Amino acid sequence: NIDKSILLYLEGISVSFDGFKAINDLNLYLKHDELRCIIGPNGAGKTTMMDIITGKTRPDCGTAFFGQTIDLLALDETAIAEAGIGRKFQKPTVFESLTVQDCLELAMRQPRDFWSLYQAKSQPHERRKILDVAETIGLQDHLPRLSGDLSHGQKQWLEIGMLLMQQPRLLLVDEPAAGMTHQEIDKTAELLRSLAGTHCVVVVEHDMDFVRTLSDGGGTVSVLHQGSVLAEGSMDQIQNNTDVRRVYLGE
Ligand code: ADP
């Protein structure tokens, strides 16, 4: 009986590697259209948590539901992606030798009909969707360009666009601002905040200025420490939290 406002429900999740508890009785509840920043010191378990959500790592115990009824622990990585969970790793992995248009089109196809990109002309509604996504990520004027020629920031947005082509409900984004110019960082914050109006967006981030920008738009910050959630709240609440100050500042 999971609350209908909850899209992702993780409860009592633990996983050990060679006896070391990387995730330790983790609880996390994400709403359908929220922007959630995940912060925490190195080794806190952020990557492992993302790996569990996407099916890359199996927990030893716990419960993980997506959209109330989908038991994530019963699905493999491909089925989890098809259920509507998209993940973007830190380094952009666009198809450098294809145009922006083709990258978006390819991303729309399911892996099983990969070759349909070359066999069939795209349908009008598909072209509409490509244009919509290109506008969302600010690359509508770059569709014929080779994606390998884009700036680092543009590649990151294209990869987010490629995820959007698969119509995910949950987007997991790892350090999107790393290596970007100030201007690109601001545009990225704007993009992620606008996506959170229609998706659940989870951002793992080290850059505290960027986290503040994201959370000032209404996002919640969760602090991971030793494999569980130490604190949750607005950036102000997090910065004034005594447990967080002890972990981060040694107070
Ligand atoms: P973070 O992303 O917050 O830096 P990680 O999830 O990468 O943290 O790692 C959490 C802890 O689990 C670390 O101590 C790391 O060394 C350990 N760990 C992660 N993956 C493995 C693995 N496959 N084998 C052994 N230890 C691992």
Amino acid identity of residue 101, one-letter, is Q
> Is the residue at 86 inside a domain?
yes
Q: Is 42 in the pocket of ligand 1 (CB under 6 A)?
A: yes
User: What is the structure's pLDDT at 164?
Assistant: 96
97 Cα: distance to centroid of ligand 1 (angstroms): 34
Residue 1 lies in a domain: no
Does the beta carbon of 22 sit less than 6 angstroms from any atom of ligand 1? yes
Burial 1-37, CB ≥16 within 10 A → b, else e: ebeeebbbbbeebbbeeeeeebbeebebbbebebbbb
The answer to whether the CB of 45 is under 6 A from ligand 1 is: yes
- Residue type at position 221: V
Residue 231 falls inside a structural domain: yes
33 within some domain: yes
> Could you tell me the residue range of the domain that residue 33 belongs to?
6-249
Q: Is the CB of 64 under 6 A from ligand 1?
A: no
Query: CA 207 to CA 176: how far, in whole Å?
Result: 10
Per-10-residue mean pLDDT, the chain, length 251: 91 96 98 95 95 97 95 96 93 91 87 60 84 97 97 96 95 94 94 95 93 88 96 94 86 69
63 located within any domain: yes
Q: What is the pLDDT of residue 126?
A: 85
Helix (H) or strand (E) holding 195: helix 182-195
What pLDDT shows up at residue 219?
Answer: 87
Q: Cα(47) to centroid of ligand 1, in Å?
A: 7
Which residue of 38, 47, 51, 87 sits with most ligand 1 atoms within 8 Å of its CB, as the best mutation to test the pocket? 47
CATH number assigned to the domain comprising residue 77:
3.40.50.300
- Does ligand 1 lie within 6 Å of residue 17's CB atom? yes
When divided into structural domains, the chain yields a total of: 1
DSSP state of 152: H
The confidence score (pLDDT) of residue 221 equals 96
| 221: in domain | yes
Distance 60 CA to ligand 1 centre (A): 15
pLDDT at 248: 78
Residue 61 belongs to some domain of the structure:
yes
Residue 26 placed within a domain? yes
DSSP string, 52-91: HHTTSS--SEEEEEETTTEEGGGS-HHHHHHHTEEEE-SS
Give the distance (Å) from ligand 1 centre to CA of residue 195: 29
Helix (H) or strand (E) segment spanning residue 7: strand 6-17
How far does residue 20's CA lie from ligand 1's centre (Å)?
Answer: 9
Pocket test for ligand 1, best of 24, 38, 46, 48 (most atoms within 8 A of CB): 48
